[in-house]
Chains A and B, each alone.
Chain A
């Protein structure tokens, strides 16, 4: 086995171990600065990931290192860099072991990078578990806060249940096809003519997809989202909604494209995904309407976003996959910027009610602008990345409208979701610029300047750069995404 193929993944895991080791010799007050080490290491990995981009596809047993994998690996590392920086600004609030937080982030990242290339069911399961188990620890990291513990336990129970479903699905697939590698599964599935075996295979695929939908937070596996998002430390929430979600998507994409070409002509697969997409969008948008807690609000909005991503999967072709990849690229910058601002602002009052944003435009223009732009991007309004993401998704779906019955209804639901989401996104912007605090409190909201930690500032500037850059000059990213997906759905046919 050629180790150089997985050097990036191994590098990330080693970085985590290295941080734990160095931690032993670092005095307590300087541990926070280990974050710079993590950032530097990840940045090096990020640069390295570009050098592997043109090497062409390489497939070793159950693990492929193709353009799609590299695209997502770059994406995950980028998200992790931003999250580590955010964690550094969050450090004063962590009472126990800040360096473990960095290390665990690296381990979760390692799981994600493995997920990007997983092309066998074993690899898929191992990657998912590496991510999920790390997140059990991460979500309950603030042990002194009841909410954090609660979120950890909720995530643990529901995550374990979804893993169980997934393992069952894997067993069914293995039982019906006798293979674990995607390509072998595909061959066996195409060859099989027995009706019962095919049924078992289909059932297995549905169960694995359900397990992944849990990561994605798609209806009906979304119940954990608001509580876990609210309770977990904010950097962890940010990573959960960017990295973990994207990991679910890449696993789903690869599973559908490489293991299930035999199901491509089946009507029910598209209908199932479409129904899920529509339900997810509507659920997320409607629940967010009356939400006042910012982290829960973003949790619901991330459910809705998962729905749009599923919309791109419904069409099951390369255009749809390309749109999904581009949408995600714009999405992480928006989400990370929003969580960074919330993390900084909520520190002062130890509160996450939407009214803490009042007067933010006076207190910290940078944060106000960053949050505004990220919200505008999430709402899908030009000229930011989110608009082009939704635009490419809609284009992909419209293109397939004539071939898939029922799609107009799903598009209609998505459009309604967009309109509903404008209402609650607008509520956030209203609070920033002309909010008056809580009406039941006599106290006027503060107008004192609010300091933004240096590292959080870096995150915000990077996110703004990404949001505006992707919005105005999307061509390079679109072509990268196009390259990554160019032979995804056609190759295995």
Chain B
């Protein structure tokens, strides 16, 4: 899985004269990791059964296997600090890795718009892809954080150098400061965890928490708050979300796809994998707060999205709003709610990749994304238009797309714990979402062609491939959600711990 990283180093050594080699090298590396991800995804259940047999028959099975992790690899890294290179996937990890690999490949395909300094761009893109794939697989908290930062830092540079629009510099500054603060808070939380458990190994921490070695209630709520707000900033939790729409509007297409689709999911991933199972008492204190804040995501950002004239700002705001559903699922801390949360994460990753990819293509054609200026595109760009309609429809939760399945599951899960909040969220999700998405469709695709309408060409031949892949998978998971729910439910040890403590206060 380190394929993109290796490729990044190889490409760094190639002189910049060979322009095409960077693009094809990147494509090959991301495609390779996609193939491996599919293989792992397909083989997951077989290997898991083997691993289960192993646990039954052999007493001293490795801890990682007991916690449902397979395809593990381990070697020591910084022994004196208890840090090791330890990777493996479980049910949640395997679907996230598949999603990440899909979006990474699509992003590499969509990077054609980059015409200057291609070498640097592709190297950064590979660093990003490799880092985030690794982060979803690592079983060591330090490695997880380390690789996530490795994926995050290129974002800042990419926005600054290849970004677009007047305020790309402002966006780059803002995104750097916000995300660094988030990462720093998370790091503080992780160090506190480490000092208690004396190890960074995720499975050892889980095991220790399982057998009753927990932090005191006070420090649990401190650490949980650090992780929740730190990771929350990384995921654009309301009211710390303002970096997201501006950042995505200024980012080059591939960066926006990778960040909104994949990297942003890391914070949620870590909340589910680490914060909930290890810190039940802290979760009890803070989850109701999280539920309230996620309402801010869904309602406030939905309303903001309604007023947007720029397509990318609209998609950006709606993606922040979608994060609200995941937070709601997490806040419910029920099996169904968490499953739904992971499903929304996967679905939204694919959707964000698709939507930003499409809007990036449009920008490449028209040099603007102002919906007042470009209207009535369906006639001249039928393929693009159809895909866009589908993406926007998926965004407002139309049945048949994976988003619908995920959101529905989240609502089922959250209903018992927070009936009022869930009610409001459902109402707003349907109505607000439908309003802005339909308005966008009306203007962008069906509206009258203005006099200033630029000439546009539809997506042709091979360039359709990335969009088609993303949409196909989105539909596949939408019609047959068992494909992922079955995998997700294999992470039962994590869920067992995560759902052990129900938030007491029900409204």
Q: What residues make up the interface of A, taking CB atoms closer than 8 Å to B?
A: 361, 376, 381-383, 387, 391-392, 394-395, 398-399, 411, 415, 418-419, 422-423, 426, 429-430, 433-434, 474-475, 478-479, 482
> Would you call A475 and B79 a contact (CB within 8 A)?
yes
> Would you call B80 and A478 a contact (CB within 8 A)?
yes
Q: What's the interface size class on B, roughly?
A: 20 to 34
B150 to chain A: which residues have CB within 8 Å? 382-383
> Would you call B176 and A422 a contact (CB within 8 A)?
yes
> Would you call A392 and B81 a contact (CB within 8 A)?
yes
1/0 per position for B42-86, CB-CB distance to A under 8 A?
000000000000000000000000000000000001111100000
Query: What are 29 A-B residue pairs whose CB atoms fall within 8 Å in the complex?
Result: A381-B149, A382-B150, A383-B149, A392-B81, A394-B188, A394-B191, A395-B194, A395-B195, A398-B191, A398-B195, A411-B188, A419-B180, A419-B181, A422-B177, A423-B173, A426-B172, A429-B157, A429-B160, A430-B160, A430-B169, A430-B172, A433-B157, A434-B160, A475-B78, A475-B80, A478-B78, A478-B81, A479-B80, A482-B80
> Would you call B77 and A475 a contact (CB within 8 A)?
yes
In the assembled complex, B214 has its CB within 8 A of some CB on chain A: no
Chain B proximity of A354: nearest CB distance (Å): 15
> Would you call B184 and A415 a contact (CB within 8 A)?
yes
Chain A residue nearest to B142 in the complex (CB)? A391
CA distance A478 to B149 in the complex (A): 22
Chain A proximity of B274: nearest CB distance (Å): 17
B149 to chain A: which residues have CB within 8 Å? 381-383, 387
In the assembled complex, B421 has its CB within 8 A of some CB on chain A: no
Chain B proximity of A406: nearest CB distance (Å): 17
Q: A376-B153, A423-B173, A475-B78 are in contact. List 6 more A-B contacts (CB 8 A).
A: A382-B153, A394-B187, A394-B188, A419-B180, A429-B157, A478-B81
In the assembled complex, B411 has its CB within 8 A of some CB on chain A: no
Chain B CB within 10 A, most for which of A415, A419, A430: A430
Closest 8 CB pairs of A and B: A382-B149, A382-B146, A398-B191, A433-B161, A422-B180, A475-B78, A478-B80, A395-B191
B81 to chain A: which residues have CB within 8 Å? 392, 395, 478
In the assembled complex, B192 has its CB within 8 A of some CB on chain A: yes
Chain B residue nearest to A433 in the complex (CB)? B161
In the assembled complex, B418 has its CB within 8 A of some CB on chain A: no
- Count A-B contacts at CB 8 Å: 69
B145 to chain A: which residues have CB within 8 Å? 382
> Would you call B153 and A381 a contact (CB within 8 A)?
yes
> Would you call B192 and A398 a contact (CB within 8 A)?
yes
> Which residues from 425 to 457 on chain B have a C-beta closer than 8 Å to any C-beta of chain A?
none
> Would you call A434 and B187 a contact (CB within 8 A)?
no
> Would you call B78 and A474 a contact (CB within 8 A)?
yes
> Would you call B160 and A415 a contact (CB within 8 A)?
no
CA distance A383 to B172 in the complex (A): 20
A394 to chain B: which residues have CB within 8 Å? 187-188, 191
Q: A415-B188, A433-B157 are in contact. Are A426 and B78 (CB under 8 A)?
A: no
> Would you call B188 and A426 a contact (CB within 8 A)?
no
B157 to chain A: which residues have CB within 8 Å? 429, 433
In the assembled complex, B156 has its CB within 8 A of some CB on chain A: yes
Chain A residue nearest to B146 in the complex (CB)? A382
Chain A proximity of B199: nearest CB distance (Å): 13
Which of these, A391, A392, A426, A478, contacts B187 with CB under 8 Å? A391
1/0 per position for B133-146, CB-CB distance to A under 8 A?
00000000000011
CA distance A133 to B202 in the complex (A): 53
CA distance A381 to B151 in the complex (A): 12
CA distance A357 to B157 in the complex (A): 16
Chain B proximity of A50: nearest CB distance (Å): 21
CA distance A383 to B5 in the complex (A): 13
Chain A proximity of B355: nearest CB distance (Å): 27
CA distance A398 to B219 in the complex (A): 13
A430 to chain B: which residues have CB within 8 Å? 160, 169, 172
Chain A proximity of B133: nearest CB distance (Å): 16
Chain B proximity of A434: nearest CB distance (Å): 6
CA distance A451 to B14 in the complex (A): 21
Chain A proximity of B189: nearest CB distance (Å): 10
CA distance A383 to B78 in the complex (A): 13
A418 to chain B: which residues have CB within 8 Å? 180, 184
> Would you call A383 and B80 a contact (CB within 8 A)?
no
Chain B proximity of A274: nearest CB distance (Å): 17
B173 to chain A: which residues have CB within 8 Å? 423, 426
> Which residues from 77 to 128 on chain B have a C-beta closer than 8 Å to any C-beta of chain A?
77-81, 117, 120
A429 to chain B: which residues have CB within 8 Å? 157, 160
CA distance A396 to B78 in the complex (A): 16
Which of these, B77, B153, B160, contacts A433 with CB under 8 Å? B160
CA distance A434 to B192 in the complex (A): 39
Chain B residue nearest to A478 in the complex (CB)? B80
CA distance A478 to B81 in the complex (A): 9
> Would you call A383 and B146 a contact (CB within 8 A)?
yes
CA distance A395 to B200 in the complex (A): 12
Chain A proximity of B469: nearest CB distance (Å): 31
> Would you call B194 and A419 a contact (CB within 8 A)?
no
CA distance A398 to B149 in the complex (A): 21
B156 to chain A: which residues have CB within 8 Å? 426
CA distance A403 to B404 in the complex (A): 51
CA distance A415 to B156 in the complex (A): 20
CA distance A478 to B169 in the complex (A): 38
Chain B residue nearest to A398 in the complex (CB)? B191
Chain B CB within 10 A, most for which of A415, A423, A434: A434
B188 to chain A: which residues have CB within 8 Å? 394, 398, 411, 415
A398 to chain B: which residues have CB within 8 Å? 188, 191-192, 195
Chain B proximity of A343: nearest CB distance (Å): 25
CA distance A415 to B182 in the complex (A): 11
CA distance A418 to B172 in the complex (A): 18
Chain A residue nearest to B162 in the complex (CB)? A434
Chain A proximity of B186: nearest CB distance (Å): 12
CA distance A392 to B194 in the complex (A): 12
Chain A proximity of B446: nearest CB distance (Å): 39
> Would you call B184 and A419 a contact (CB within 8 A)?
yes
Chain A proximity of B173: nearest CB distance (Å): 7
